[in-house]
């Protein structure tokens, strides 16, 4: 039987992800959204590309949850973006309402699914999804680190004029200003980054990475990034559905790892058929540990706003 991937929120990230999953040809796709007819239209459009591109994935659009039943993976992208004049706390509370309602339905209809959250503020929304779903920690995670790392790798490859494939990089911490790009453990064809890029220039690249989302928002004028975010979720889905056991930075529930307890924060994790199969513990320097702790504190503050 084919696997089933549901994407809740058929907006820019959700529909692009639906397209990417369909093109992989290993799973059927359900696009769910509250806007009448829109997910049905997008799903049909993606389905009709199948004969041209040669995939047989079934793609369905819906405004309800019946069609999502028994999904193997559910990706939550539903939410609103911050609008001018809206405070960060307003945004959290609005998306809290949306994610709560969505995850309740998802848990009811797909009790064995692995949940991947994308809605921002990311780490806080994953924590909420974990609580509302009641799922074990292995089956709830958030996409941020793969995207942040992809941005970091892009800028490093540009700087050194090398293939992105030769650049390995790690970004830890929460998704936001407090993320921790780990230059020390990043390499180009095995050579540590600090040996290749002067410290001052490297710092500029690290800062550009941390502001990577805002850079796109400023260029688009409305909306936020979706090509790289959807590609990043796809890599996580690949590793889970194909049981590849790839190690990638994800927002996962920590219980003592890195000295952090009871909180979702971005760290390297092994993803396989069971979801989060292992949290990889890197040896951090004092500075890195402090930066990660600061990032965790920022996540904790957002959780305080939600009152969960």
Token pair recorded at residue 255: 């219980």
149 contacts ligand APR (rule: CB under 6 A): no
Strand partners for 80: none
Q: How far is the CB of 11 from ligand APR (least distance, A)?
A: 2
The interface region with ligand APR, picked from 3-11, 131-139, 285-293, 295-303 by CB under 6 A, is: 3-11
One residue of 49, 58, 69, 81 binding ligand APR per CB under 6 A: 81
Q: How far is the CB of 284 from ligand APR (least distance, A)?
A: 27
8 contacts ligand APR (rule: CB under 6 A): yes
Q: Which residue is nearest to ligand APR (CB)?
A: 11
The interface region with ligand APR, picked from 33-41, 43-51, 153-161, 199-207 by CB under 6 A, is: 33-41
In the region spanning residues 222 to 281, those forming contacts with ligand APR, defined by CB under 6 A, are: 223-224, 226, 229
In the region spanning residues 89 to 108, those forming contacts with ligand APR, defined by CB under 6 A, are: 98, 101-102
The one catalytic residue among 4, 42, 109, 175:
175
One residue of 57, 68, 71, 77 binding ligand APR per CB under 6 A: 77
In the region spanning residues 117 to 146, those forming contacts with ligand APR, defined by CB under 6 A, are: 118-120
Measure Cα distances from 97 to 14, 85, 125, 204, 248 in Å: 19, 19, 10, 37, 29
Q: How far is the CB of 43 from ligand APR (least distance, A)?
A: 13
109 is catalytic: no
Q: How far is the CB of 277 from ligand APR (least distance, A)?
A: 25
φ, ψ for residue 250, nearest 5 deg: -140, 160
Q: Give the largest CA-CA distance in the chain.
A: 55
Closer to ligand APR by Cβ: residue 57 or 120:
120
35 contacts ligand APR (rule: CB under 6 A): yes
Say if residues 234 and 20 touch (Cβ distance below 8 Å). Answer: yes
Say if residues 12 and 82 touch (Cβ distance below 8 Å). Answer: no
Token pair recorded at residue 250: 């994800």
Closer to ligand APR by Cβ: residue 33 or 72:
33
One residue of 6, 7, 9, 47 binding ligand APR per CB under 6 A: 9
116 contacts ligand APR (rule: CB under 6 A): no
Quote the Cα angle for 115-118-124, to 5°: 90
Residues annotated as catalytic (active site), given as ranges? 175
Residues in contact with ligand APR by CB under 6 A are 8-14, 32-35, 77-79, 81, 98, 101-102, 118-120, 223-224, 226, 229
């Amino acid at each position: 039987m084919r696997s089933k991937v549901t994407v809740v929120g058929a907006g820019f990230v959700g529909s692009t992800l639906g397209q990417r999953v369909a093109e992989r040809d290993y799973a059927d796709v359900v696009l769910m959204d509250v806007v009448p007819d829109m997910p049905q239209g997008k799903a049909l459009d993606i389905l009709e590309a199948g004969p041209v591109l040669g995939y047989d994935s079934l793609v369905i659009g819906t405004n309800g949850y019946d069609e999502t039943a028994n999904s193997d993976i559910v990706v939550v992208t539903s939410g609103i973006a911050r609008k001018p004049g809206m405070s960060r706390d307003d945004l959290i509370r609005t998306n809290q309402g949306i994610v709560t309602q969505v995850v309740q339905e998802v848990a009811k209809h797909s009790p064995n699914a692995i949940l991947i959250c994308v809605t921002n503020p990311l780490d806080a929304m994953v924590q909420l999804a974990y609580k509302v779903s009641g799922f074990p920690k292995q089956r709830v995670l958030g996409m941020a680190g793969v995207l942040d790392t992809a941005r970091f790798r892009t800028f490093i490859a540009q700087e050194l004029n090398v293939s992105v494939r030769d650049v390995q990089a790690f970004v830890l911490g929460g998704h936001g200003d407090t993320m921790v790009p780990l230059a020390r453990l990043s390499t180009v064809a095995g050579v540590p980054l600090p040996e290749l890029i002067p410290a001052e220039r490297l710092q500029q690249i690290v800062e550009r990475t941390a502001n990577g989302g805002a850079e796109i928002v400023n260029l688009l004028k409305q909306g936020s990034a979706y090509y790289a975010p959807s590609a990043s979720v796809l890599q996580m889905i690949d590793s889970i559905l194909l049981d590849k056991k790839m190690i990638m930075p994800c927002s996962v529930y920590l219980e003592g790892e890195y000295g952090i307890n009871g909180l979702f924060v971005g760290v390297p994790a092994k993803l396989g058929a069971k979801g989060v199969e292992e949290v990889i513990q890197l040896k951090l320097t004092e500075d890195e540990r402090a930066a990660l702790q600061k990032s965790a504190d920022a996540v904790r503050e957002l959780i305080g706003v939600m009152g969960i």
